[in-house]
Structure 1
Amino acid sequence: MTAVQRRVETLLESGLLGQLIRFVIAGGITTGLYTLVYSPLAGLGITSEQVANICGYLVAMTSGYVLHSKWSFRGHGAEATKTSWRFFVVSLVSFGLNTVFVWILTDDAMLAGPWWWPLIPILFVTPLVTFALNRFWVFG
């Protein structure tokens, strides 16, 4: 057996691989919903990038809690009374990250880039941080 096969088997036995796959799917849906809200608001100039970020965050937080608690991390052992407030804290961390990305990349006092620049770290950095926090602290 190769080292890769052994590692995959270990991940399967621990449940981490299944959780990661479910998290990627649910997170993809949640991030997609964020993008569907943020993009037209910011891209069409309906509102500022930060207000669009807040609107996207509210949709993503609500859908994310339902998807992750009911599916991504189901049966991971944490009680709903523990996960609710912890999920909200992690949600605020993700909101904070996204707000910083939007501010640094689009604000006139910073890089003054186009509205879509923050989507790059929002799609690739924020999900990694939230997966780790959800796995080990919220639903752990």
Structure 2
Amino acid sequence: METTPRQFDLVRAKETFGQLVRFGIAGGLATLCYAAVYSPLAATKLTSEQVANIFGYLVAVLVGFWLHSRWSFRGHGASATKTGPRFFAVSLLSYGANTFWVWLLTDDAVMAGPWWWPLIPILFVTPLVTFSLNRLWVFK
């Protein structure tokens, strides 16, 4: 039986959807790790929001690489030696985006909001960008 272009597109769409679901779960876990580190540091004023952001990022990038390379995009791309530097580059973009959200939304910056405001775009905007970059460039 021959595979038609439409069947191929359907298989590809299912594969992408499965990766998106796995990415959402793994990314959600990494983001929860980020929030578990960022929130107590920022909420108690133990440190500034930006320093808390750095610590949260470091934990999340380690958890994220481990989960995404072994589960989210398993079998999708190259080895960890090839994907590691690309993943780190995307994670730096992610860190930059999250740093922007913290700068824009917290009481030390532009909008003078509470410590938790940056968690909203960090949970809902940054992951969409990083999924696209991971899918199209890192684990291609």
Normalized against structure 1, the TM-score is what? 0.89
How far did residue 10 of structure 1 move?
A: 5.5
Task: Compare 91-100 and 74-83 and name the one that shifted more.
Answer: 74-83
How far did residue 78 of structure 1 move?
A: 1.9
Verify: 1:11 aligned to 2:19, yes or no. Answer: no
Verify: 1:34 aligned to 2:34, yes or no. Answer: yes
How far did residue 79 of structure 1 move?
A: 2.6
How far apart, CA to CA, are the structure 2 residues paired with 1:44 and 1:61?
23
How far did residue 8 of structure 1 move?
A: 7.0
| Matched-pair identity in % | 67
Question: What amino acid maps onto 1:138 in structure 2?
Answer: V
Spell out the pairing of 1:1-140 with structure 2 (5 A cutoff). Answer: 11-12=13-14, 15-140=15-140
How far apart, CA to CA, are the structure 1 residues paired with 2:62 and 2:47?
21
Question: What amino acid maps onto 1:84 in structure 2?
Answer: G
How far did residue 54 of structure 1 move?
A: 0.2
How far apart, CA to CA, are the structure 1 residues paired with 2:102 and 2:64?
20
For the 8 Å contact 2:34–2:60, the answer to whether it is kept is yes
Normalized against structure 2, the TM-score is what? 0.89
Q: RMSD of the alignment, in Å?
A: 1.4
User: In the superposition, relative to structure 1, how do residues 43 and 130 fare at CA in structure 2: closer, same or farther (>3 Å)?
Assistant: same
Residues 90-119 of structure 1: CA distance to partner in whole angstroms, max 9, x if unpaired? 000000000000001115341111000000
| Equivalenced residues, count | 132
4+ runs deviating over 3 angstroms:
7-10
The unaligned stretches of length 5 or more in structure 1 are 1-6
Task: Compare 77-86 and 66-75 and name the one that shifted more.
Answer: 77-86
Question: What amino acid maps onto 1:70 in structure 2?
Answer: R
Task: Compare 100-109 and 22-31 and name the one that shifted more.
Answer: 100-109
Task: Compare 109-118 and 33-42 and name the one that shifted more.
Answer: 109-118
